[in-house]
Amino acid sequence: MTSKKGRVFSGARPTGRQHIGNYFGAIRNYVKLQDDYDCIYCIVDLHALTTLDTTRDLRQNTLEMAWDWLAAGMDPKRSIIFVQSMVRQVTELHTILSMVTPLGKLTDLPTFKEKVRENPKNINYGLVGYPVLMSADIALYRADVVPVGIDQAPHVEFARETVRSFNFRYNTNALIEPKEKFTEFPKILGIDGVNKMSKSLNNDIELAATAEETTARVMQMVTDPARQRRSDPGNPDICNVFSLHKMFTPPEKVAEINIECRRAGIGCVDCKRILAANMNAYFAPLREKRRVFENDPEGTWDMLRDGAARASLLAEETMVDVRAAVGLPALQKG
């Protein structure tokens, strides 16, 4: 990899087909970062194992996610795109980093307590070590930049502290302390108009949905609840349909809807139809591109394996230094 402004690492759990909240919250940013950084993007399937009841859909969900990433413009020629479990050194570094991480620090983390609340019947060892595996992901590829929203800053801070503990304990500079790059992640509400868009809440609109499915989802969207009849004036400021118009509809039309809604000059059905049409037009090229990848799952796996092979080279460079610093034997003679 040639270094541009630095090396970015970001990972996401294989949640299957991505929705428009994922697109505006992460994927679009991943695509842009490729212009200025050497980017390493990872589908973190090992992390997913901590909370999955069944792994039946894991491979398919990995593929579906990769298809959305690729169709959106994440480019395996410019970036390294791969699956976490394909680079085995990450589990080795995770084990080594776990030795410099106090257990109490892990069980005190608000994210751990939250996971315990969400999965009271499955509080497994992997869940406790989740942040250590996350630190291993970042440190293994010597990423210096991690794109995050403001609420995820503690994760990068944790990784930084873990790297610092390791380097201090073994008197080395083998690992690099990452820095966060704060990014605007607009919060996209789901079709219920209340909660953040999420697959598990079934309030999402998938990028890969057909035009008809998208329109049907948009027609279900909750609008200004005070607008009961067509003749009632509405308030676009509290309507999620209007928020989404700002992302998909030309500004002149948004301004017109803003006025017409307030004087009942446009009905919600028509307003939603316009949104659905614009959303479908916006995602049409992505959907077309996705179909090409969907028709070649083996080609997609090959691409992910190729990414993993490139990531493994970087990983092994780091692990040679890590093993030497710790005092573990070298795998290669010389």
Contacts of 295 (CB under 8 A, 6+ apart): none
Question: What number of other Cβ atoms are within 10 A of residue 180's Cβ?
Answer: 19
Q: Among 109, 176, 222, 266, indicate the residue that binds ligand SF4 (CB under 6 A).
A: 266
Question: Which CB sits closer to ligand SF4, 264 or 324?
Answer: 264
The nearest distance, CB 185 to ligand SF4, in angstroms, is 24
Question: Which CB sits closer to ligand SF4, 32 or 253?
Answer: 253
Long-range contacts (CB closer than 8 Å, 24 or more residues apart) made by 28-35: 28/72, 29/147, 29/183, 29/185, 30/69, 30/72, 30/74, 30/147, 31/72, 31/73, 31/74, 33/8, 33/147, 34/73, 34/74, 34/75, 34/78, 34/79
Nearest-angstrom CA–CA distance, 16 and 229? 38
Q: Among 143, 205, 261, 304, indicate the residue that binds ligand SF4 (CB under 6 A).
A: 261
The nearest distance, CB 257 to ligand SF4, in angstroms, is 6
Question: What number of other Cβ atoms are within 10 A of residue 317's Cβ?
Answer: 14
Stretch that binds ligand SF4, among 2-10, 11-19, 72-80, 231-239 (CB under 6 A): 231-239
Token representation of residue 294 = 């969907």
Binding mask 208-227 for ligand SF4 (x = CB under 6 A): ---------------xx--x
Tell how strand 179-182 and strand 7-12 pair up.
Answer: unpaired
Question: Which CB sits closer to ligand SF4, 148 or 254?
Answer: 254
Contacts of 158 (CB under 8 A, 6+ apart): 109, 131, 134, 135
Cβ atoms of 147 and 181 within 8 Å: the answer is yes
Token representation of residue 249 = 């509809």
The nearest distance, CB 196 to ligand SF4, in angstroms, is 19
User: Would you count residue 46 as binding ligand SF4 (CB under 6 A)?
Assistant: no
Which of positions 240-259 make contact with ligand SF4 (CB under 6 A)?
241-242, 257
User: Would you count residue 268 as binding ligand SF4 (CB under 6 A)?
Assistant: yes
Question: Which CB sits closer to ligand SF4, 226 or 330?
Answer: 226
User: Would you count residue 191 as binding ligand SF4 (CB under 6 A)?
Assistant: no
The nearest distance, CB 238 to ligand SF4, in angstroms, is 8
Q: Which residues bind ligand SF4 (CB under 6 A)?
A: 223-224, 227, 234, 236, 239, 241-242, 257, 261, 266, 268, 271-272
